[in-house]
Amino acid sequence: MQNTTNDRREFLKTSLKAGVVLGLSGVLGSLSANTTNSQGVKMQFSTLNNGVKMPMLGIGTLNMGNTKEVQNAIESALEVGYRLIDTAQRYGTEEGVGAGIKSSGIKREEIFITTKLRPSLTNEKDALKAFEGSLKNLQTDYVDLFLLHWPLNDTYGAWRVMSKLHKEGRIKAIGVCNFLPDRIVDFCLNNEIKPAINQVECNPLYQRANLQKVMQEYNVKLESWASFGQGRSGVLDNPVLMSIAKKHNKSVAQVILRWLIERDIIVIPKTTRKERMLENINIFDFKLDENDKTAIAKLDKGVSLSFNQQDVERVKWLNSL
């Protein structure tokens, strides 16, 4: 086991030298809020509406596998240089994330952990116990970002619990997911603490420009899930994106992540493969030009590639999660 870990570290050290560090050495110097972590990987940060700094690129964990598989993937991601991890009570990946962080030996305060409250536990009575369950799974005494997973059930009651935990310092920032413009406005108008983040489906075929504009009024940052259309939906083999990628000598995945970050959107692509982790983090050494951005803007279809969250059968299903 020790040897396997050492081999992996050696492989990643070499890969990092060859790929990420060299690739990052150019443009990053001119970006403002960048830092270099202990792996030598540079990262861009976003400042949330309460002053908390959040890495703009992290790793998603939906469908990452069983606890051991998640642990292995998280160990790899941390070795590559990822410091933002996105999990959720509903994904069943919190324990693997906690185990991966622990075995990495990296200090807790160097890592930004996001987790989410299950829809079925989104109410004033269950939220605290659910949060404490997350802490136990993650082997930590605080989370950096705790999100309402869906705008369903008693979001206001759960938010009161989350606000209290935030004031106590047990959650550094609180936010929401999948809130449409009307819900964001209502939520911001009627809560003392505004969400720091709204995590929503966002990719070149579903760009969410109107939603982002509404959110900017309240200083709520957009975080993208399904940046790659969940690896299906034709996003990664879109011909326009392929030609932009070729022009920059990058992959389509890198062009998408770069495009999102240039829109001030935080990204959390999911992969279990080390070579893709390296590929996905190596996006800070190039910039898209105006022609690229104009061409990508035209790709927006304005509808979810995943599902219609307002469909009544979906609402019933989501409530049961």
Give the Cα separation of 55 and 58 in Å (integer): 7
Q: Is 226 in the site for ligand NAP (CB under 6 A)?
A: yes
Least Å from the CB of residue 62 to ligand NAP: 3
Which range, of 43-51, 98-106, 275-283, 288-296, touches ligand NAP by CB under 6 A?
A: 275-283
Q: Is 207 in the site for ligand NAP (CB under 6 A)?
A: no
How far is C-alpha 144 from the geometric centre of its chain's CA atoms?
12
Give the Cα separation of 173 and 160 in Å (integer): 13
Instruction: Select which of 91, 142, 156, 218 is catalytic.
Output: 91
Containing 42, the helix (H) or strand (E) segment is: strand 42-47
Q: Is 280 in the site for ligand NAP (CB under 6 A)?
A: yes
Which range, of 29-37, 41-49, 136-144, 265-273, touches ligand NAP by CB under 6 A?
A: 265-273
- Report the residue number, 28 or 62, with the smaller CB distance to ligand NAP: 62
CB 256 within 8 A of CB 241: yes
Q: Is 268 in the site for ligand NAP (CB under 6 A)?
A: yes
Joined together, the tokens standing for residue 100 give: 């991966």
- Report the residue number, 177 or 261, with the smaller CB distance to ligand NAP: 177
> 149 Cβ partners below 8 Å, 6+ apart?
88, 89, 90, 116, 117, 118, 119, 122, 177, 178, 321
Give the Cα separation of 276 and 295 in Å (integer): 25
Least Å from the CB of residue 272 to ligand NAP: 4
Q: 116 - beta bridge partners?
A: 147
CB 260 within 8 A of CB 269: no
Q: Is 276 in the site for ligand NAP (CB under 6 A)?
A: yes
| Other beta carbons less than 10 A from residue 276's beta carbon | 15
Joined together, the tokens standing for residue 85 give: 């991890």
DSSP-assigned letters across all residues of 168-182 = TTSEEEEEEES--HH
Identify the CA nearest to 57 among candidates 224, 272, 241. Answer: 224
Q: Is 253 in the site for ligand NAP (CB under 6 A)?
A: yes
Give the Cα separation of 271 and 74 in Å (integer): 10
- Report the residue number, 76 or 178, with the smaller CB distance to ligand NAP: 178
Q: Is 321 in the site for ligand NAP (CB under 6 A)?
A: no
Q: Which of residues 42-101 bind ligand NAP (CB under 6 A)?
A: 60-62, 86
**Site track for ligand NAP across 174-203, x = CB under 6 A:** ---xx--------------------x----
Q: Is 270 in the site for ligand NAP (CB under 6 A)?
A: yes
* 91 in catalytic set: yes
**Position among 206, 228, 259, 284 found at the interface with ligand NAP (CB under 6 A):** 228
Which range, of 4-12, 34-42, 188-196, 276-284, touches ligand NAP by CB under 6 A?
A: 276-284
Q: Is 119 in the site for ligand NAP (CB under 6 A)?
A: no
Rg of the chain over CA atoms, in angstroms? 19
- Residue type (1 letter), 244: I
Would you please indicate which residues are annotated as catalytic (active-site) residues? 91
Binding site for ligand NAP (CB under 6 A): 60-62, 86, 149, 177-178, 199, 225-231, 236, 253, 268-273, 276, 279-280
